Amino acid sequence: MAEPESRDELRAHFEEFARTRTDALRNHLVNAHLGLAEYLARRFANRGEPLDDLIQVASIGLVKAVDRFDPERPVEFSTYATHTIVGELKRHFRDKGWAVRAPRRLQELYLRLGQVVAELSQELGRSPTVAELAAEMQASEEEVLEAMEAGQAYRFASLDAPAPGPDDEGSSTLGSQLGEDDLTMAAAEDRAALSPLLEALPPREQRILFLRFFQGLTQSEIATQLGISQMHVSRLLARSLSQLRAVAAEK
């Protein structure tokens, strides 16, 4: 077995590839870093997707990183590749997260909607109208309404943070708050069981859970957006999670 190449040797190969763009050198650089792609794929392996599929997605990200890397910039390839590969894995889960396939533009509008609503609410001192949202997002009012409707098909789970490892303390996912064995609710039956439980909650509690665990807002930010006290948000959040735990335990 050949000895692993040194950092200087790899850097020299990247410099040569930047000049020649040969397939043989691209394949060599990709193969030299497949271990990194597999390692990052394994960090997402408990989200319900087959590991082989995740490794394939990570490998696609690795190829993109090799093609886009500029050896003239003062950054290590492993650092650049990690960012690119993780981004590819997150996009994979984001796209898989839509239970009903919505057009990409509507997906992107919906994923921006929460931040835009929060920003306009703070700026205007009230909830923005659909017309104001459309103007801010450079979309039509019909598209904003369609994005809101399409958002109902989106799974209620944050995939933005990497899957917690065995040494990680805590998690911001809703699954961990419910005390489930599968902290990310990766199994399909868990997601199917959770959805009707959430729908049974009052609209305000659903909104709070959405803002906390999907949008990642703090309790203080949620309180500001809803016009209630942080203490009230904390009580409603605790009550909702307690109800969900109790009903889930009976299933």
Q: What is the mean pLDDT of the chain?
A: 74
Where are the domain boundaries for CATH 1.20.120.1810 in the chain? 7-96
Nearest to 110 by CA among 137, 135, 86, 87: 137
Just give the CATH number of 7-96. Answer: 1.20.120.1810
What one-character DSSP code corresponds to residue 2? P
Between 57 and 167, the higher pLDDT residue: 57
Amino acid 215: pLDDT:
66
C-alpha 92 chain-centroid distance? 9
pLDDT at 96 over 60: yes
Boundaries of CATH 1.10.10.10 in the chain?
98-154, 156-251
In CATH, the number for domain 98-154 is 1.10.10.10
Q: How far apart are CA 211 and CA 170, in angstroms?
A: 19
DSSP for 49-93, please give it.
S-HHHHHHHHHHHHHHHHHH--TTSSS-HHHHHHHHHHHHHHHHH
DSSP assignments along 161-222, one per residue: SPPP-TT-----SHHHHHT-SSTT--SHHHHHHHHHHHHTS-HHHHHHHIIIIIS---HHHH
Using 50, 70 and 90 to split pLDDT, how confident is the model at 143?
Answer: confident
When comparing pLDDT for 224 and 104, which is higher? 224
pLDDT in tens, 193-238: 455 667 677 888 888 887 776 666 778 888 888 888 888 888 888 8
Helix axes 104-124, 219-226, angle to 10 degrees: 80
Q: Are 154 and 98 in contact (CB under 8 A)?
A: yes
Q: Which residue has the tokens 């923005």?
A: 128
DSSP 125: S
pTM: 0.43
Distance CA 162, CA 164 (A): 6
Closest CA to 69 of 31, 16, 144, 145: 16
Q: What is the pLDDT of residue 118?
A: 80
pLDDT, tens digit, for every residue of 146-187? Answer: 777 666 555 443 444 444 443 443 333 333 333 333 333 333
Question: Stretch 71-79: mean pLDDT, rounded?
Answer: 87
CATH fold of 156-251 reads Arc Repressor Mutant, subunit A (1.10.10)
